[in-house]
Amino acid sequence: MNNSEIKKSAKEAMKNKWGLAIGVFLVYGLISSAISATGIGAIATGLLSVGFAAFFLDALRSEKASFDSFFKGFTEYLGTKLVSMLLVGIYTFFWTILFYIPGIVKTYSYAMTPYILLDKPELSANEAITDSRMMMRGHKMELFLLDLSFIGWILLSILTCGILFIYVVPYMQAARAEFYRTLKGENEPKADEPIIEIPH
């Protein structure tokens, strides 16, 4: 799927779930703000991002969304998730120190780590990061362009003094989760499902 199809698919899957998604985002933001001034701020934020990813991944995969998914994201297999997100932050930091552009590239290389941690909890921290690197090989520009496609929404959010972000951020996160599902082939027709071809 191209980026417009990914965004359309994400919106369709999130139908009737936006209210809960916005609530999860607000809780995520409040907790992140509350802990940002503490010594564990960066660590806890990394874990919260896994919980945030968990909610949207579960919401896209099932008919009903649940707030429990958000908490499940950073409570189960806590140690592995903690180490993984710490390593992602450390690796990205050092790549950025060397050269700014490689730091951005590595950000996209590691972008699927939270989702992999959720789907493969048996992996070690470095194995999850390595899986993300392998999954994103040849797809980093695609995810960058997906993020870039939200620039209009971001500008509108700024013009509304940030109010619109309560919709835009969940929308972006849903699109990223759908991007991950696309890379995994979850959106491909199953073997026993007919493929409907549209006449040219």
Per-residue confidence (pLDDT) for residue 11, from 0 to 100: 92
Give residue-wise pLDDT tens across range 149-180.
999 999 999 999 999 999 999 999 999 999 99
Other Cβ atoms closer than 10 A to 103: 16
Residue 53 falls within a domain, yes or no? yes
Any domain includes 192: no
- The DSSP string of the chain is --HHHHHHHHHHHTTT-HHHHHHHHHHHHHHHHHHTTSTTHHHHHHHHHHHHHHHHHHHHHSSS--THHHHHTTTTTHHHHHHHHHHHHHHHHHHHHH-HHHHHHHHHHTTTHHHHHHH-TTS-HHHHHHHHHHHTTTTHHHHHHHHHTTHHHHHHHHHTTTTTHHHHHHHHHHHHHHHHHHHHTTTSPPTTSPPPPPP-
- Pairwise CA distance, residues 152 & 179, whole Å: 20
Please indicate, yes or no, if residue 174 is contained in any of the structural domains: yes
Residue 136 lies in a domain: yes
pLDDT tens-digit map of 182-200: 999 886 654 444 434 433 3
pTM confidence score: 0.85
Q: Give how many domains the chain has, as a whole number.
A: 1
HSE-CB for 40 with a 13 A CA cutoff: 6
Q: Which residues form the domain of 100? A: 3-184
Query: Is residue 72 within 8 Å of residue 96, measured between CB atoms?
Result: no
pLDDT by residue for the chain (200 residues), tens digit each? 788 999 999 999 999 999 999 999 999 988 888 876 665 666 677 888 899 999 999 999 988 888 889 988 777 788 888 888 888 888 888 888 777 777 889 999 999 999 999 999 899 999 999 999 999 999 999 999 999 999 999 999 999 999 999 999 999 999 999 999 999 988 665 444 443 443 33
Residue 126 in domain:
yes
Residue 190 included in any domain: no
Give domain status of residue 189, yes or no.
Answer: no
Could you tell me if residue 56 is left (phi over 0), alpha (psi between -120 and 50 degrees) or otherwise beta?
alpha
What confidence score (pLDDT) does residue 158 get?
94
Residue 195 lies in a domain: no
